Amino acid sequence: MRLRALLESDRLGLRLLWGREELDRPVRGVMTTDLRDPSRYLHGDELVLTGLAWWRGGDDAEPFVRVLAAAGVAGLAAGEAEFGSVPDELTAACARHRLPLFAVAEEVGFADLTEHVVRRVSTVRAGDLAAVVERHRRLMSAGPAGGGPRAVLGLLGSDLDLPAWLLTATGREVADSGAGPLPPGVAAELAAGRLAEAPGAGPEPRRVARRDAVYSLFPVRGEPPAAGEDPRRTLLTDWLLAVRADAAEWPAERRALLEGVAELVAAARDRGEAARGVRRRLAQQVVELLGSEAPAAEVAARLRIAAPVLLPGRSGLDWQLVVARLHWPDADFDTGPVARAVLEEALCDPTASEPEAAVAHAGGEAVALVPVCPLQEAEVAGPLRAEAFEATLRHPLAAGLGGGRLTVGVSSSVPDAEGLRGALREARHARRLAEARPEAVAVAGHERLASHMVLLPFVPEDVREAFSDRLLAPLREYDTRHRSQLLPTLEAFLAEDGSWTRCAARLHLHVNTLRYRIGRIEQLTGRDLGRLEDAVDFLLALRLG
């Protein structure tokens, strides 16, 4: 169809603001967007519809129109619902770039306009792959009311009979095509395999063969890295479209369809990202106040303002703080946004209408405000447990950190703003405790802070080594020379709280043999394991060794 056909329909009621000489341009598709830069979703000859949610002022018009003109779109239709009329600056920018501009009256729905264009440009319906793509675009044009990713994947099941799943980088299932959940462990395995592969290592989609099925993995990317930019900036924020089929056997048109679906899901996710922006800013304000010398009353006032957005319709909840940091020694970029994305994906159910947490970042650190229910009510989770949280992160992420590390600290829950500053300190201390561990993904909870173990990571390394060697070196040398088991015996004796009978049973020794070994330990070190002070020194030396 040609652009001028849009003006022939009285039902649409479009008004041409600029471009009468350009009305013979062909229109081969339609796309709805409120992104500032929608270039990655444009292929040329589209009619672009926008509700102007991206507009903040006159300076926004030029870069937006420049992107559309460079992509070769047929024209732009701007809704009047947001501001009552189309801004003059947008009309002027379209004139400079010779881009036809239409005004869409408030009473005209974008879905109706999309339907009109699709019906005119598509002549084949049933069984046509292109028709399926247009159905997807029509769904997405309705925004969140159209069903989002879940509706798009539902069409893969109903129109193409494809079992498909949308997964986050941490292996959480966002939606499926009606096939039901993946078998236990498969989602985490697919996510881990995807993360373990170097970016650009091979053609997309990736093929994963399991004993029970073959999966093809299509990336659902957020903001793509700029040329020369470190690909790790986006690797942990990309989603994954997993299809139970071997895409290598498909014709090119079918693969292109799935790539188009992945782009549509990415567009829907971008809408969600925009909605998260408000929550992020509110969380940022609270965290900044906690980090300053602001009085508790000011923090409480800010939290009262934020609570209706962070916790709509809820009250009487406690709060936990979660602090995370990504460690890539060779990274030359701020890893805070990536850590924030990891926390958001891990703490927030992607299918929920209201996220369960609000996450901010600053100085390479991500901080999450997590509402918890002290009474364990069904609609709100109870306190976050460090061990369980670590288990959800470890399998998919450990493989994809590329030699880096993720360390996380979890605070106890506090009932009000008075306790939030202490909870932030607690979470940061717990994260530093996790950092002292060797694992690629390490999470420590507030309960670890009550142990002597919290002190050990902060003792200088040379002091730790000297203390441990001075006490344990004679035992190591004796074990090496005589092939004895003094060190394991010491560890077992302390683990059994100095009980002769339990320790002997644990080591499968006669009690007299155990007494001989303990006597030899005391003789070599000059210590007495019957004295509390000496027993504590041995325990610390073993922990530091």
Q: Map out the domains of the chain with their CATH numbers.
A: 5-120 (3.40.1390.20), 160-269 (3.30.450), 276-453 (3.30.70), 461-544 (1.10.10.2840)
Q: 488: cis peptide before it, omega within 30°?
A: no
CA dist 538 and 524 (Å) reads 13
Question: In the prediction, which pLDDT does 81 show?
Answer: 86
- What does 377-410 look like in DSSP terms, one character per residue? -TTS--PPPHHHHHHHHHHHHHTTSTT-EEEEEE
Question: In the prediction, which pLDDT does 378 show?
Answer: 43
Length of the chain: 545
CA dist 531 and 124 (Å) reads 89
Answer for the pair 433, 409: CB distance below 8 angstroms, yes or no: yes
C-alpha closest to that of 368 among 437, 404, 420: 420
Tokens 């679906």 belong to which residue? 261
- What does 37-51 look like in DSSP terms, one character per residue? --GGG--SSEEEEE-
- What does 251-292 look like in DSSP terms, one character per residue? -HHHHHHHHHHHHHHHHHHHHHHHHHHHHHHHHHHHHHHHHT
CA dist 164 and 160 (Å) reads 11
Residue 209, H or E segment:
strand 206-209
Phi, psi (deg, nearest 5) at residue 287 = -65, -40
Return the SS3 of 180.
coil
Residue by residue, pLDDT tens for the chain (545 residues) are: 788 888 877 778 889 999 999 998 988 888 888 888 988 888 888 999 999 989 989 899 999 999 999 999 999 999 998 888 999 999 999 999 999 999 998 888 888 888 788 777 654 333 444 555 555 555 445 444 445 677 778 777 776 778 899 988 778 888 888 888 888 888 888 887 777 665 555 567 888 888 778 898 888 876 665 656 666 777 777 888 999 988 887 877 778 878 878 887 877 777 666 667 777 888 888 888 887 777 878 888 887 777 666 665 555 677 888 999 988 877 778 888 888 888 887 787 655 555 567 888 888 899 988 877 655 444 445 677 877 788 777 766 766 676 788 899 988 888 877 788 888 888 888 888 888 788 888 888 877 655 555 556 556 677 767 778 888 999 999 999 998 899 999 999 988 888 899 999 999 999 999 999 999 999 999 999 888 888 888 888 887 76
Question: What is the value of pTM for the model shown?
Answer: 0.55
CA trace torsion 188, 193, 197, 202 (10° rounding): -120
CA dist 44 and 27 (Å) reads 9
CA distances (Å), 272 to each of 149, 356, 398, 462, in order? Answer: 11, 14, 27, 49
Q: Name residue 321's beta-bridge partners.
A: 369
Q: Is 318 exposed, middle or buried (0-12, 13-18, 19+ CB in 10 A)?
A: buried
Phi, psi (deg, nearest 5) at residue 16 = -85, 120
Question: In the prediction, which pLDDT does 302 show?
Answer: 80
Q: Which tokens is 157 given? A: 């099941």
98 φψ region: left (φ > 0), alpha (ψ -120 to 50), beta (else): left
Question: In the prediction, which pLDDT does 377 show?
Answer: 46
Question: In the prediction, which pLDDT does 236 show?
Answer: 75
Answer for the pair 303, 286: CB distance below 8 angstroms, yes or no: yes
